[in-house]
Each structure stands twice: as C-alpha cells, then as structure tokens.
C-alpha cells in the first residue's frame, strides 16, 4: 500500500515536469551547439550535462572556454554561479521532512531553478520526496536528451543557424536576471555596477578572472544595500 502510494506521488511529479521538458529540450540543444562551437567533443558536451547538470553554468563554461579562460577560472566562476543551488536545496528538503540523507543527496542533484519553482509552487499535498524525485528525473532526462540531440546535430546544421544560437547564452542569463531586477531598482543598479566593474577589471585581468572578481566584489557590496523586494515594506495587520 505504501509503495503504491509513493509510486502515485512519483507519477504526479513526472506529469508536473512536462512544462519543464518543453523548455529544457530546445535550450539543451542550444547549449550543445554552443559547446561544440567552443571546441568540446560530443562526449565532453554530453558529460557536462550528465555530471554538472546546470544549464547556466554549462553555457558560461563553454563561453569562457571559447574565450580562452583557464580551467581554474571556469571552475570558480561556475561555483559562484551555482551557490544559489545550496539555498534552493535547503528550501526543498525543508518541505520534505523525514527523507533519508542518501535520498536528500540524490535529490539535491536534481534541484534547478525550474524544478525548484515548480515544486515550491505546488499544493502542500505534493510537498513530498517521491513527487520531487519524479519532477527532477523528467527534467534531468529532457535536458540530457536535448544535449545529445544538439551535440549530434551540430555538424549537420547550416553555419548561419549554429552561429545564431550563440545568443542562447545571453538569453539564459537575461532569463535569470530580469525577473529579480524588474522588482528592485537596487538590484538593477547592482547589475549595472557589476557590468562596469567587469569592463574596468578586464583592462588589467584576463576576462575569466575579471568576471569572477567583479561578481564577488559587487555581490559583497550588494549584500549591504540591495533589497530584493524593491524597498517596499509589507503591511502588518
């Protein structure tokens, strides 16, 4: 009885992830083409998605590699970008009490911006580990399916089409940036400051290290004044 109940929850998670599939497959294709253009082999491109599984970081790593950034700079930059995953994982497993440590470790690998958004927006009855594992599994498989398709098709597509897909990197970061910045002028100012800082530091440092330094410095500065709610105070009754 308990097993069938868990299976039903797992299937609900799979169904809830269908909208993510529709987004992950085309973006996975775009990432794979970008990675192949940067010089990755098909095996390396697919390995990034299998073992890293972080779309924005994978795209950034491919872009930095294409620009000649060193391995240390790429690793540190992707680490900084993925720090938000630790917070999101904590929130997800706060909603799934009773899950064992091994399952939490397994599930944390499946926490992405999209799975986090879908899971936390679900009704409380769906806040359980089988539901999240189903959601995470279908998202993971769809991302890797898109990556494989893009890696195999990259040599078959016209050059003008593959070149235009390079904009996917910028679209990915705008998708992460705009929702928060549109709600807060402080965050908008912080983003502009980071861009200016990166431009200045690029004159003295390699591009990869300039990006890391400007991100860390401005993130530290922003922790003192940035208000994600746009400075609006909530009314307390």
Helix, strand, or coil (residue 232)? coil
44: confidence class by pLDDT, cuts 50, 70, 90:
very high
Share of the chain above pLDDT 70, in %: 83
Highest mean pLDDT among 61-70, 170-179, 206-215: 61-70
The C-alpha atoms of residue 191 and residue 225 are separated, in whole angstroms, by 13
Distance from the Cα of residue 30 to its chain's centroid: 14
Size (the chain), residues: 237
Would you list the DSSP string of 88-136? HHHHHHHSSTT--HHHHHHHHTT--HHHHHHHHHS-GGG-SHHHHHHHH
Give the pLDDT of residue 136: 95
Helix, strand, or coil (residue 234)? coil
- The set of long-range contacts for 172-178, using a CB threshold of 8 Å and a minimum separation of 24, is 172/27, 172/55, 172/56, 172/59, 173/56, 173/60, 176/56, 176/113
pTM for the predicted model, two decimal places: 0.72
Instruction: Tell me the per-residue pLDDT of 131-183, one tens digit each, with 9 for 90 and over.
Output: 999 999 999 999 999 999 999 988 787 776 666 665 655 665 666 567 666 77
Give the pLDDT of residue 235: 38
Would you list the DSSP string of 48-64? HHHHT--HHHHHHHHHH
CB atoms within 10 A of CB 191: 16
Scored b (16 or more CB within 10 A) or e, 153-169 reads: ebeeeeeeebeebbebb
Token pair for residue 82?
A: 């993925």
Torsion of CA 20, 49, 32, 172, to 10 degrees: 50
194: confidence class by pLDDT, cuts 50, 70, 90:
confident
């Amino acid at each position: 009885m308990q097993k069938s109940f868990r299976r039903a929850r797992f299937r609900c998670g799979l169904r809830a992830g269908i909208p993510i599939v529709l987004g992950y497959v085309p973006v996975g294709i775009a990432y794979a083409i970008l990675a192949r253009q940067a010089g990755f082999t098909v095996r390396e491109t697919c390995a990034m998605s299998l073992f890293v599984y972080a779309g924005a970081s994978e795209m950034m790593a491919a872009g930095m590699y294409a620009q000649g950034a060193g391995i240390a700079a790429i690793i540190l930059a992707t680490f900084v970008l993925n720090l938000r995953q630790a917070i999101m994982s904590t929130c997800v497993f706060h909603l799934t009490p009773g899950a064992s440590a091994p399952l939490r470790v397994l599930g944390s690998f499946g926490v992405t911006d999209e799975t986090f958004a879908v899971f936390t927006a679900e009704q409380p009855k769906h806040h359980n580990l089988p539901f999240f594992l189903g959601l995470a599994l279908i998202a993971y498989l769809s991302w890797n399916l898109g990556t494989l398709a893009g890696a195999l098709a990259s040599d078959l597509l016209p050059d003008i089409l593959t070149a235009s897909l390079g904009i996917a990197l910028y679209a990915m970061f705008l998708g992460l940036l705009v929702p928060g910045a549109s709600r807060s002028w402080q965050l908008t100012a912080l983003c502009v400051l980071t861009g200016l800082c990166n431009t200045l530091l690029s004159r003295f440092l390699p591009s990869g290290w300039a990006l890391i330094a400007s991100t860390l410095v401005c993130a530290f500065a922003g922790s003192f004044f940035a208000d994600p709610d746009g400075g609006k105070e909530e009314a307390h009754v």
